[in-house]
Each structure stands twice: as C-alpha cells, then as structure tokens.
Structure 1
Amino acid sequence: MSTVFGIISKLNINCLLDEKQFKQVIMEKAGGNEVADAILSYSNENKDLVLRIKDNLVKQGLSVWMGDSEGMSATEVLQKIGQAVVDCRLFVFVMSVTSVQSKLCQDQLALAYISSKPIFPVAIVPFSELRELMNNGMKLQLARFPSIPIDNETLDDDTEKLAGILHDELNKLKNEDEKDVDEAERPKLQRQYTMNMGRRKEDEGIDNPMLMEKPTDFWKRHFVDEEVIPWIKFLEAMTMDFQEELDRDFGANDTEWLIGIIQRELDCDQSDFIIKDTFLEYCTSESKVRPLWLMIKELAVQSYAIRDVFSIGSSVRVKAIENLAKFKSMAVIDALRDLLSDKDSSIRSVAIISLAKTGANDELTIRGLIKCLESKDRLVREAACLALGHIKAERATDKIVDLWRNDKISNVRDAAYVALQNIGGEQAAEAIRITQVLEKEIRRLKSNPAGST
C-alpha cells in the first residue's frame, strides 16, 4: 500500500478528485508502464504456450503485456497487474483447466469486466471441458463473449486470426474515441450494458417468454395501476416469474445474496416499499428499456465481479479501489463504503477519496465519512475532511471545525480548513470568522504582553 501514501499531500482539493491527475499520481507511485494494446491473463502452468501466443501477437503489430515481459519478480507482477488490467485496451483471457479455476485469473477477469474492457476468451482446450469448472461469476462474465479456440498444432494460424480480431476491436475503440470525446466522463458500467446485452440461445426465453417481457408489462400484469407496492409483494412476483432461472443460474445461496443487492438498487432496502418510477428507471440504460430478467442478470455479473475485486483476498483489490471510483453503481459505492472500516488505514484513505469521487452523499456515506474523522491515522482524518468538503456535508461542520482548531497534524488542519471553505454556509463561515478573530487577538496579545508599552 505504499502507492497511496503521499497522494493526499501531493494534490490539493481541486485536483485531488480529478480523474486524470489522480490516476497520474497513482501511476507515478506504482511505477506504471506504457499502456498496452492487450494484456494476457493466464495460468503459470500454460506459460510456455502463452509466450508463443504473445510472440505471435507482437509479430502482428500488437503491444502485449504479460507478467514476465518486464522481467519482474512474482511479487512485482502481483503489485502491477491490477494497474495493467485497468490501463490495457483489450483483455485476453487464456482459458485452460487451471486458469478457469485460478483465483488470480478470476480477480483479473472481474476487474477487466467492471472496467469495461473488451474481453476475449481464448480457449486452449475445448470450451465444453471448461464451463463446468468455472464459478458462477466467471460463467456470467464470459457468457456473452464468444470463445476463440487456439490449438497447439495450428497455433500460428490461430493467433494470426486472433490478432486480426484484436486489431478490429482496437479500430472500433479508436473510432468511438474520435466520435465521442466525452466518453471518459460517462460511467462505464452503463456502457457495459450495451456491450454485453447480446443474447445466446439459452437467454432467449423460448420456454419462459416472461424473460424478455417489457418491465411496464411485468408491472401491469402483477400490480395493475399501483404506483407504490411493498417490497415483499414485488419479490413474490419476481421469484414466481423467474424461480427456475434463479435456481439454475445462481443457486439458493447466491440468489439470496443477489436479492439483497436488487433491493438496494431499487432504493427500497430502508423503506420496504418500491416505487414504480424507480423500477422503470432501473430497467432503463442509455435511454433503452431492458427486460427485467436481463437487468437482473447484468446486475448479477457486475455484483460477482465487484465481490471478487473488492474481497479481502483479491490480488487486484488496491488497484480497484484506486481506479474504480468513476463507476456510479450502488454496488461499487456499497463496496467502497464497506472499506471505510478496513483494518488497513491506507485502504481506508483511498476508499474515502474514491467515495468522494463517486459523488455519493447519502446518509450512510456521510455517516461513515464522519466516523473516519475520529481515526487515529492522520491520513484517514485528512482524507475524510477533504471528502466531506467535496460533497458539501454540512452536518459534518462541527467536527471539521474541531479538527481545524485542535488537530496536532498541520496537514489535517489544512484539510479541515479547505473542507470548511468548500462546505460553505453560515455555520462554516461563522466558525472560520470567529476562529480567525480569536487567532488574531491571540497573536496581538503575544506580541504585546501585559505591562509592555
């Protein structure tokens, strides 16, 4: 976590939450490399074959990153691979019996998915032999990306075809960048819907036409003209329509976990009621209305990926926290909020800044950030001040004033002052005015002790 120390002190509040500068500092600290066209994710047991694939792709004019290509140790690879996944243009997953069961590969695939990388599954053994070895998350993340077979005996020809596919995708990305200069400002999880909404035969709802039913029809069929319904009533309708598919795709445990996420996404985890307009908004992405079942599956894929990426044992956890704040999904915000109580103060600091970058200013987020003001770690207190100032959390004013006046660390006091200026309002302004008057009077008394003339 040495990469995060110095981030806060190096940037002022105005650029601290600017994506490009934040990323630049992260990369400087991490010793980041030039962005590659593609990263190869693979199991070390297949390293020799993967090296041949890489060499052939390079001959076809592609820049390719894999762990050993920089002459790094295994420890250095683990430190840098998360950033490499975030920065690469294309993610190539070399699938084998060992790689589809590898936690490291799963972490990398999950990070690639939620960073909206075009994913290219390359099967070096028949895909049919691999599917049953995958966990639910990997199956869903790969479901809409056709696998590309590569055989050892025809490797040269196969990798030449793969190179052509990758070049085509790079050209598409280049054209998209030229047409939409504001693409970087859009939450890319929304773009992922468009990229991944294609259907395979098993998703077409031949046996269950309700899978492709419009959300307005779903609502009318179950709730007629009601505008607000109890969550339990919605849950009963949803499970009645999709029970077979939920059991098949997720199983009992994961279904229960997923239902909790759906409840939060529909803003009814606190009130226990669901509003029709909120439901219809949830089923709309980029002005396109999606069937409820497809939105549930898309939420599941994202949630599996987020769970893998942010889990305590994730090999890409730190890089995910540092880079994924731009994604506004409630699932990401929930994950970042959970990290506010992480044992590692550096993790807490970056999670605080990342939360501020999402713009989340709900009650739970503000409450969690205010609690961080009490941390024994000065970096956590400093980050919390800046984050609360950025989201203009007026209810934190008293505690921030206390830090500004009394914290022993000058960086924390400076951050508190910046936060008060950003929060604004009469309370903050009055606190600043009174404190400045008192300080001025104290300086005057020090310079003119009693009895002096």
Structure 2
Amino acid sequence: MGSKPSTPRAKQNANRPTSTVDVKNDKNKNSKGQGSEKASSDGPKDVMISYSHQDKEIMAKLRERLEDNGITVWVDVAGLQAGVDFLGKIGQAILDAKLFISLLSTSSVKSKYCQDEVALAYVSQKAIFPFAIHSQQEVYGCMGTGMKLQLSGIEWTFSLQSETFEDDFAELLSRLKVELEAQKADEKTDVSAKPFISRQSSKTQKKKDPKVKEDAEDFWKKQYNKQDMVAWERFKEDFSKYFQEQIANLFTETEEFDFLWTNLREELELLNDEDSVDMLLKNNLIGFTTRYGDTLSLWESTEVFVKEMFAIHEVFGMDSSVRVQAIDHLGQFQSPRVIESLRDLLYSEDPNVRAVASVSLAKTGNSDKSTIKRLMKSLNDKDRLVREAACLALGHIKAKEAVPTLLRIWRNDFISHVREAAKAALELIGGEEVEQAMHITKVLADEIRLLTQEN
C-alpha cells in the first residue's frame, strides 16, 4: 500500500511510549525540568500527538512548532504515572482532541500503546494525520495489518531528513488548519457527520478493476444465478477466488484472512431471521452492504468491515490500554457483530466496562430480545453504576418487558441514584401499565407519609 492522497478528515492513530519503563523514564527526566513547564495538558486541545518514547526529540520539535503557530497540543511529556491514571488520561486526550497526529516510526508502530491508540482514534472518528520520520517501506515492514488498514487511504506527511523538517512541517500545518476550519464551520452550521461506516470506502485498491465496484446482487447473480441461498464453504471458496487480488493486497498472512472469514461469517449469520445452518442467504449478503445508510459494493463493504473488526479486536482486548474509552464510541456502529460484542462485555469482570457497554448498547438503538434480556440481568448487578446504566439503557430502547423489574427497582433499590434511573427509564418507556403502577406507588407513599406525620 502506498501513500494515497485524501482529505484530512479520515480516521486513525498511532502511539506513545513503548513500555511502562519508558513512562517512568520520562517522569524522572521531566522532574529535572525537561519539558515539565509545558506538560500540564489537562483539558481538550486542538491536537493530540501520539509517539514512541524513542522519538521524543522529534515530538518535542513538532509540538513546539505547532504551539508557535497557535495550535494547542496534548502530549504526554509530564511523566504521567503508569497504570489506570496514565491510560485513562491518554485515552481521554484522544477523545477530547479535535485532531490526531500519529508520529510514525519503526519504533512507534511496534508499540502496543501505539496500536491501541490507533484503534481508539479510528473508532472515535478522529481526523488522523500520520507524520512519518522513517520511509513508508521501513514503517510498513514493522506495522501490523490492523494499523495498516486503519491508516490506509490517509495522506501521510514525511519528514525523513532534519534539513527538510520546516518544509515538511509547513505541509502538515496547512492540512491541520484546513481541518480545524472545517470543524469550526460544521459547529456553526450544526452539520451532523455521516454515519461512520459510510465514510470508510477504500482508497487502497486499484479502481480500474470493476470487481471492486460490483455490488452484492451482481456478484450473487454471476455466481449463483437465481438461488436464494448457498453453502457457506462454497461461498468462501467463490469469494476467495473472485477477490483473489484484493485479498492478496489486503492481507499478508493466511491467519489474517481466517480472521476476516470467522468474523464475516458470524456477522452474516447474525443477520439471519430464520434457521439456515451452514447456508448463506442472498438477502443477508445484500443487507451486509446496505445496512449503514449508504450502499457500498461487496468488496468495499468487506474492506470496511475488516477495518472495523481489527479496530474492535484491539480495543476489546483484555490488555487494551484504552478499553473503557473506546467502548463508549461503539454505539455509532450498527453492525450485528459489534452489538454482539457489546452484549458480551456486559459480563466483563470490570464494572466500568459493564456500565459503559450498557450505555453503548443503548446508543446502537438495538432492542431485540437478546439485548433486552442481557440488560435486564444487569439490573441485578452488585455494582450500583452498572444497575443505573442498565436502567437508563432499557428506558432508552423503550423495553416494555423490563417494566415490572424497573418498578421493583424504583421502589426498593437501596441506592437513590439507581431508583432515580429506574424512574427515568419508566418515564421514557411510558404506557398505561407504567402510569398506573407509578400512580399507585405515589398514592401509597403519600398515605404512609401522612400516617408518619400523624404519629
């Protein structure tokens, strides 16, 4: 994949320290005064810079030039403590910043922090600006498939020699300012962003190949004529052969294509409205390309889906450094695979993850039986924030099945915030049952209060 021109409004990100040792080293050096006066980075900034500790000199130069030009910058030079505080601030800085600069080097792209930050920037729809200090060939040689996919189609700025830095920086600065102005204009006119998935069409394939633009219905007609369903294994074989060149460009290892196939099959099976074991339905394949508002070609839909799955795999991982921050932004996806992943996160050992997953599920708007059933189980969670989030999520999706349980919680939960959340949920759901039950409860409460006063 080569460097491709594109609008700056893409999405993706790179990284920061290569280990917790790097964080501590930064802290020790900053305590001696190195950069500490600029390290107070609390609050939203124009730009967040992600980098490896080994590239800190270039990062400092880049930051200084940005600030000289009136652009506020968040970067970890304060030596934030490793652990929850460190990870939380890094993740929040990405979410708060208007733009994201990924300082790409052979060191940064191998960092787990970098990979997590790229994934978080991707799922949170940040405008991402890769600034490479090593050649694209060198960087790609060290970069995993997930990051390659997430940075594909985005214009890179290269600064390979110190004597050209100012010219290279001027190019980056120009693009940053264009994006900042565009975001200001959007804020003034209240322009809503298009759905995330619809803006992810690939710029990495050879557009001369008509297969890339072929829609799912035409593909199906060529392969299966008038059949309504086909065996999964046959579809996999036909798909692999038909898009052989595109697959070779996208994946470098067999297990990566296996990753695609496992997730793609699960995605398409989740679209099933009927029992069709080991069969792919024609309507499911077509639905896979049209469910995001825009209709993409079959290959474009597949490529977008792969990017999404790699990003989700990064941020959902138990060792992810930005897990909680990322989950909240998954509500924008309408993918059944994402929704199922959010349901699974309701069983996470981390109560923060469980609570955020409930809120994110509500944001997807999904209200099928499985979602409601799992959210209702969360109403009995031992953590009060999880119970509170589950109440509000059920109210948001207007889950009438939850009314009796929500009424019980409203009347009996020992935490006032949970009772208030249950009440808010009931009011959102509405209906005769809710109105009658709430009326009776209020009347009884008033009567009890009067008896108490009389005594």
TM range (shorter): 0.7 to 0.9
CA distance in 2, matches of 1:445, 1:155: 80
Q: Does 1:268 align with 2:271?
A: yes
Specify which structure has the higher proportion of helix: 1
Match of 2:313 in 1: 307
Give me the CA root mean square deviation.
3.0
Equivalent positions of 1:343-358 (< 5 A) are: 343-358=349-364
TM-score (norm 2): 0.79
2:216 equivalent to 1:215 = yes
- Secondary structure at the counterpart of residue 50 of structure 1: helix
Once the 2 structures are TM-superposed, how far is the Cα of residue 287 of structure 1 from its aligned partner? 6.4
Instruction: Tell me the CA shift for residue 293 of structure 1.
Output: 1.4
For 2:169, the equivalent position in structure 1 comes to 159
Aligned 8 A contact 1:229 1:274 in 2 = yes
Match of 1:385 in 2: 391
Shift of 1:327: 4.0
8 Å CA contact 1:352–1:384 kept in 2: the answer is yes
The match for 2:55 is 46
Counterparts of 1:45 and 1:36 in 2: how far apart (Å)? Answer: 24
Alignment of 1:358-437 (within 5 A): 358-436=364-442
Equivalent residue, structure 2, for 1:241? 242
Post-superposition offset of 1:108 = 1.1
CA gap 1:413/1:115 in 2 versus in 1, 3 angstroms? closer
Distance (whole Å) between structure 1 residues aligned to residue 42 and residue 337 of structure 2: 30
For 2:450 and 2:81, the matched residues in 1 are separated by: 61
Deviation for aligned residue 1:106: 1.0
Do 1:321 and 1:350's aligned partners in 2 also have CA atoms closer than 8 Å?
yes
Shift of 1:369: 0.5
Structure 2 runs not aligned, ≥5 long: 1-39
User: Structure 1 length normalisation: TM-score?
Assistant: 0.79
Deviation at 1:101, TM superposition (A): 0.3
Which one of the candidate residues 21, 41, 45 is aligned to 1:36?
45
Change in Cα spacing, 1:323 to 1:268, as seen in structure 2 (3 Å) is: closer
In the alignment, does 2:195 pair up with 1:187?
yes
- For residues 341 and 32 of structure 1, the distance between their equivalents in structure 2, rounded to whole angstroms, comes to 34
Match for residue 100 of structure 2? Answer: 91
1:56 counterpart SS class: helix
**2:291 and 2:334 in contact (8 A); partners too:** no
Matched, 1:297 2:303: yes
How far 1:72 sits from its partner (Å)? 5.3
Please name the residue that 1:255 is paired with: 257
Q: Deviations over 1:67-93 (max 9, x none)?
A: 12xx45244553222122122222211
1:232: Cα distance to partner?
5.4
User: Where does the alignment leave 5 or more consecutive residues of structure 1 unmatched?
Assistant: 1-30
After superposition, where does 1:330-345 map in structure 2 within 5 Å? 330-345=336-351
Write the distance in 2 (CA, Å) between the matches of 1:74 and 1:440: 52
Distance of aligned partners of 1:447 and 1:228 in 2 relative to their CA distance in 1, 3 Å threshold:
farther
Match of 2:18 in 1: none
Identity of aligned residues (%): 39
> Match of 1:188, as an amino acid?
F
Number of residues of Structure 1 aligned to a counterpart in Structure 2: 408
CA deviation map 1:310-351 (0-9, x unaligned): 322222222223444344444443333222111121221222
Rounded Cα–Cα distance in structure 1 between residues aligned with 2:434 and 2:182: 50
CA separation of 1:286/1:404 partners in 2, compared to 1, >3 Å: closer, same or farther?
A: closer
> 1:108-156 CA deviation, whole Å, 9 max, x = no partner?
1111122222222222111111212111101111221233210223222
- Distance (Å, rounded) in 2 between the aligned partners of 1:277 and 1:174: 41
Residues 1:197 and 2:231 aligned together: no
Q: Secondary structure at the match of 2:129?
A: strand
